[in-house]
Amino acid sequence: MADPLDDLNAAPAAQAQAQLADLYPHAPWVAEQALRSRPFRSVADLRQRLRQAVDDASLDTRLALLRAQPAFGPLPGADAADAERLAQLTAQYAARFGFGFIAADRGPRGTPLDGASLLEDLSRRLDNPPDAEQEEALRQLHRMAELRLRARFGEPALGNDIWDWHEALSAYSDPGYAEKGQLTVTYLTDAHRACAARLSQWMHDCGFDEVGIDAVGNVVGRYRADRPGAPVLMTGSHYDTVRNAGKYDGRLGIFVPMACVRALHRQGRRLSFDIEVIAFAEEEGQRYRATFLGSGALIGGFNPGWLEQKDADGVTMREAMAHAGLDIDGIAALRRDPAAYLGFVEVHIEQGPVLYELGLPLGVVTSINGCVRHQVQILGLASHAGTTPMDRRRDAAVAAAELALYVERRAASDGDSVGTVGMFEVPSGSINVVPGECRFSLDLRAPSDAQRDALVDDVLAELAAICQRRGLRYAIEETMRAAAAPSDPRWQQRWERAVDALGVPVHRMPSGAGHDAMKLHEIMPQAMLFVRGQNSGISHNPRESTTSDDIELAAQAMLGLLDALSNDTTT
């Protein structure tokens, strides 16, 4: 059967134009401009050329493109009230932005969106600043063109399956969250263990030769090489989540390699190395303060002191592990011998807006920011809110708030550091009591360890100064320290070549988020691939999203990397 892309590349200009004319309604110039770049290397290349044609156009031309689009509607399944609300909101929208509401009517999987989602999206986008909304409307046009191209060039089959796996796994959530339709899977809860069982089953179904759950709850799948005693490529990410999380953080880095192994298995192919896919049991440090526990155990970094840490219900990690049937004595043996490994690669959703705003599906990570976290307790004096004069208070919460403002100023002053007070609590506080105690967290990050440590030193010095000035005491515990992890140049280049081979522009970028790769970095070379997040890349939030088209490209990139590695006799 002829390849439709070859046909498009070979077609006379008028015929090629006719084939693409409906991609951007009432704007044939977009396809015309893109066709000047023929031959397209891939459908991804075609999509980028179409996007580039719009990006290269003048502001007036882009506005005219938006204004030329047909009116939005009708809402699927809308009743009279919805139709009325749609009419009102679209009128407000047009008055505010000067063009009609534009939205892809199919979601990240390519399936139809319901009326409620579309109305919610319209209502949310009404709050956008005009220039940001113009960019968003153009992104919607590109997404509609991408969906139309599926009709000609086929569905993203791998991407759709991977997307569906995320949906299925998100059915498991911890009590207190599941009932609210929220996704929270913390270390060794029943939901967490159900995820491990499901992942094990899927790995078996994908054709892994060995699948097991190790002594800390990692799910480990091994797909053997074409020869005995071959080196191992490790890949994977975490399956635990933050509270009220998105579905893709961590999990995308498990499912993409699983789908690659499934593809190899279906083709009856073996590579020159074993592939070890690991679903790390704990990275987020939500139930217990320990973080990167799953990947840390593989580098000999499991701290036995963690076993006595207690969760919010007073359950120790030791008790949770025993309840889960894990063999604590087997933890030390999990340490991997680096000599047996080629390296570690991780696919992860970007968790930020860079790729979304650049209009790129993939990014190659150059370095992962270093991070230090603390838990802090400030102690003052609880006293009557009505009778304690303002100059006689020892208010622990105000001191913590003063430090939080300092963290914001000080981190911003570096330009590329970040500082967050993510947890902030007045234990047993009352509306009419001056807070005598305040507990809060510190999360400080920077692209290099030296910059990170300078930030930490300054913040801790300010904490001491504030407490000194206000007559307060404080206690502080460092709960995590992860070194900045620059990508190994050879492995970064492997990702770059794999992305380039897809006809996707290679974009290099740092990671502000921490990842399991920074743990494996301590014993073997590593590099990561980022996948664009939808909704401006929001993450650690239920609106986290990615399309099956972008997931497809990530899977194809990984397959390309695996193939190239298998043929690379220098490894």
The binder of ligand HGY chosen from 146, 214, 283, 437 (CB under 6 A): 283
Q: How far is the CB of 215 from Mn ion (least distance, A)?
A: 22
* Minimal distance, residue 514 CB to Mn ion, in Å: 7
C-alpha triplet 535, 83, 133: angle, nearest 5°? 30
Q: Which of residues 245-274 bind Mn ion (CB under 5 A)?
A: 249-250
CB nearer ligand HGY, residue 284 or residue 395: 284
Cα–Cα distance measured from residue 219 to residue 216, given in angstroms and rounded to the nearest whole number:
9
Strand partners, 480: 373
Q: Which of 370, 463, 376 is nearest to 417 (CA)?
A: 370
- Buried b / exposed e along 79-113 (16+ C-beta atoms within 10 A): eeebeebbeebbeebeeebebbbbbbbbbbbbeeb
- Closest separation in Å from C-beta 518 to ligand HGY: 9
Question: Minimum CB separation from Mn ion for residue 540, in Å?
Answer: 6
Whether 107 and 114 have beta carbons less than 8 Å apart is answered as no
Q: What is the DSSP string of 483-529?
A: --EEPPHHHHHHHHHHHHHTTPPP-EEEESS--THHHHTTTS-EEEE
Other CB atoms within 10 A of residue 205 CB: 12
- Output the six-digit token pair for 415: 């330009």
Site for ligand HGY in 39-78 (CB under 6 A): none
Shortest spacing between CB 373 and ligand HGY, in angstroms = 9
Task: Show contacts with Mn ion in window 539-568 (CB under 5 A).
Answer: none
List all residues 6 or more positions away from 330 whose beta carbon is below 8 Å from its beta carbon.
214, 215
Q: Where are the beta strands (DSSP E) in 385-472?
A: 418-420, 424-425, 433-434, 437-446
Residue with smaller CB distance to ligand HGY, 45 or 249: 249
Q: By CB under 6 A, tell whether 550 contacts ligand HGY.
A: no
Candidates 443, 429, 442, 437; CA nearest to 467 is 437
Residue nearer to ligand HGY on the CB measure, 48 or 235: 235
**Shortest reach from residue 514's CB to ligand HGY, in Å:** 4
**Cβ distance to ligand HGY smaller for residue 223 or 239:** 239
Contact code string over 210-249 relative to Mn ion, x by CB under 5 A: ---------------------------------------x
Which entry of Mn ion, ligand HGY, none binds 514, CB below 5 to 8 A by partner kind?
ligand HGY
Q: How many residues bind ligand HGY (CB under 6 A)?
A: 4
By CB under 5 A, residue 447 contacts Mn ion = no
Read out DSSP for 508-521? EEEESS--THHHHT
Site for ligand HGY in 505-544 (CB under 6 A): 513-514
| CB closer to Mn ion out of 371 and 456 | 371
Looking at residue 416, the DSSP 8-state letter turns out to be S
Q: Residue 107 corresponds to which tokens in the numbers above?
A: 């979601």
Q: Quick one: angle between helices 252-266 and 548-566, nearest 10?
A: 60
Instruction: Print the binding letters for residues 368-407 with ligand HGY: x by CB under 6 A, - otherwise.
Output: ----------------------------------------
Q: Which is nearer to Mn ion, 250 or 512 (CB)?
A: 250
| Residue nearer to Mn ion on the CB measure, 250 or 359 | 250
Of the candidates 60, 58, 39, 59, the one whose C-alpha atom is nearest the C-alpha of residue 49 is: 39
Per CB under 6 A, does 284 bind ligand HGY?
Answer: yes
Residues lying near ligand HGY in the complex (CB under 6 A):
283-284, 513-514
Residues lying near Mn ion in the complex (CB under 5 A):
249-250
